[in-house]
Structure 1
C-alpha cells in the first residue's frame, strides 16, 4: 500500500521508513500486477506512464525496469513520501527514460495528457468513490492503453476488523470513531469487472491471498503501523500516553487473533487486481 491520496484536510501523516520496513512483501502484488499488463501501444516512441499513489517511489521505479525508456510520473499527496521518492529515484533511469514525481490527490486527478498506462498500487482503497474516476482515466488513455491497479481486500480480516472495533470502543470513540474504517472503499472483484467492461475495456480481474510469514515479536502491529494504523496514529499525534495505551490494547488483540508459531506469524493478505485495456 502506498500513501493515502485523500484530501489534504483529512490526510494521515505517512512515515516512509515505517512503510518500507516490509518493502519486499508489499511490492510482490505489484510485480504480479505488472506481469499481467499487456504490450503498450507506443509504436516505437517512449511510453508515458502515471503511477497514482506512488508513495516512496520504490515500486514506481519497477516500472522503469519493464519500460526502460519511458517517461514515468509518480503522483502522491504526502509531501514526506514525495520527498523520499525524489531523493531515491527521480531523474534519468538506467534505460534512458525519465522518472519524476508530482503532488496530486487521486480523488480529483485526471490526465492532463494522453497516457499509455495509468497504474495504482495499493492506494485506491483510500479514495472514496474511486470507481467514478475510471471513465475519465480510461478517456485519458491512448487507444490500446491500460488502466491497472491492485488494492487490499482484507478489510474483514481480524487485523482490520479489530482495529475498527477498538476505535469505536467507548474509551476511544470520541477521538477515533471511524478512523479504523476510513479505508474501506474497495468493491468486490465482480463489481470492478462490470464497471470497467461497461467502459468498453478488455478487462481482467482476479484476487489472490498471500500467506505471509512475518518474523518478530509484534509483526502484524509493525505491518499495520505503515498502513491501516496511519489515520489513528495521526489522530493521536502529540499524545504519547494515549498512543501507547491504544497500541498496547491493539497489540493484545492481534496476538490473540494471530498467534505466533515456531517459524513466525502467518498473516493472510487478500489482494484484488484489475487490468483494463482500452480498445483500439
Structure 2
C-alpha cells in the first residue's frame, strides 16, 4: 500500500480529535511515566498525551514516513518509530498503551489484546478506540462500487485490510483473565460536513485508500466519481445543506491486574 498522506488526513483534524479526546477522558489522571501511542499517525493523539503527561516518555509508532514526519513536528518531545504496530514490543513495561483508530487494521484480536496487556506494568492501562464502520453505508458503498465490472477485474475479492471487530462480550472475555477491570462502550458520532464530497475526502485517506491503491492510475478517478455519486444518493442534505456522516466507534479501557 502506498504511503499515507498526513496533510489530507489532517484536513479533518478537529473532528478526528474528538474520539481521541473521549478516550483520553476515560483514562484516570494518575502518574504516568511510559506511554506507547500505537498507530500514532500524524501525532494528533500523541499531542493530547503529551499535554496530559508532559513529563512522560512517549513512543509513537506508525508505518507511514509522511505521518511520522508530521507527528515529529507536532510533538517534538516524543520519540517516533517507523514500524508495524502488529509487531510492537515495548522496550520496557508501559504505564499506558494508547491506540486511537489503529487496531481495527490488525488481525486476530483474541491474541492481540492479551499480548498488549502483557506489555503493561501491573496496574497499567490499555486504552483503545476503533471505528466500527464496516456495516455503515459509507463502507458498504465502497464494496458495491468495487464489485462493478470496470473495477472488479482489478480488485477481485479484495481484502481492504480491515478486520470485522469482535463484539463487546468477546473483548471482555479475552481481556478479563489478566485485567482487574474492563470498561467498554460505543459512541455514534454524527460529523457535520459540507456535503458528500467531504465524505469522499474523509475516507480517501483511510478506508478508501486500499481500493484506490489497488487500481491502475487511470481507474482511480472513475472509482472516486462513482463512489461520490452513490454518496450523493445515500446522504441527502439537511435543511441547511450540510450532511451528517455517522461513525460508530468502539472504546475499551482495561487495567492490568496488580499481580
Unaligned runs of 5+ in 2: none
* Of 97, 100, 104, the match for 2:83: 104
Q: Secondary structure at the match of 2:210?
A: helix
Matched, 1:246 2:223: yes
* Of 4, 26, 36, the match for 1:14: 4
When structure 1 is superposed on structure 2, of 47-56 and 215-224 the one drifting more is 215-224
Superposition TM-score, scaled by structure 2 size: 0.93
The whole-number CA distance in structure 1 between the counterparts of 2:126 and 2:169 is 17
Question: Hey, what does 1:90 align to over in structure 2?
Answer: 76
Alignment of 1:79-228 (within 5 A): 79-91=65-77, 99-179=78-158, 181-216=160-195, 218-228=197-207
How big is the shift at 1:139?
1.4
Q: Secondary structure at the match of 1:148?
A: strand
Alignment of 1:257-268 (within 5 A): 257-263=234-240, 264-268=242-246
Q: Secondary structure at the match of 1:59?
A: helix
1:39-67 CA-to-partner distances (Å, cap 9, x unmatched) read 44x4xxx6100000000112211001111
Unaligned runs of 5+ in 1: 1-10, 92-98
* Of 10, 18, 25, the match for 1:35: 25
1:118-155 CA-to-partner distances (Å, cap 9, x unmatched) read 01000111111244122222111111100110000121
How big is the shift at 1:212?
1.5
The whole-number CA distance in structure 2 between the counterparts of 1:250 and 1:201 is 45
The whole-number CA distance in structure 2 between the counterparts of 1:164 and 1:181 is 9
How big is the shift at 1:222?
1.3
* Of 4, 7, 14, the match for 1:24: 14
Q: Could you tell me whether the CA contact under 8 Å between 1:127 and 1:185 is conserved in 2?
A: no
Question: Hey, what does 1:5 align to over in structure 2?
Answer: none
Q: Secondary structure at the match of 2:88?
A: coil
How big is the shift at 1:223?
1.0
The whole-number CA distance in structure 2 between the counterparts of 1:180 and 1:161 is 14
The whole-number CA distance in structure 1 between the counterparts of 2:256 and 2:199 is 39
Question: Hey, what does 1:276 align to over in structure 2?
Answer: 254
Q: Secondary structure at the match of 2:125?
A: strand
How big is the shift at 1:216?
4.0
How big is the shift at 1:25?
0.9
The whole-number CA distance in structure 1 between the counterparts of 2:44 and 2:256 is 27
Superposition TM-score, scaled by structure 1 size: 0.86
The whole-number CA distance in structure 1 between the counterparts of 2:114 and 2:136 is 31
Q: Could you tell me whether the CA contact under 8 Å between 1:164 and 1:179 is conserved in 2?
A: no
The whole-number CA distance in structure 2 between the counterparts of 1:177 and 1:59 is 35
* Of 40, 44, 54, the match for 1:54: 40
When structure 1 is superposed on structure 2, of 185-194 and 223-232 the one drifting more is 185-194
The whole-number CA distance in structure 1 between the counterparts of 2:156 and 2:102 is 22
Alpha-carbon RMSD = 1.7
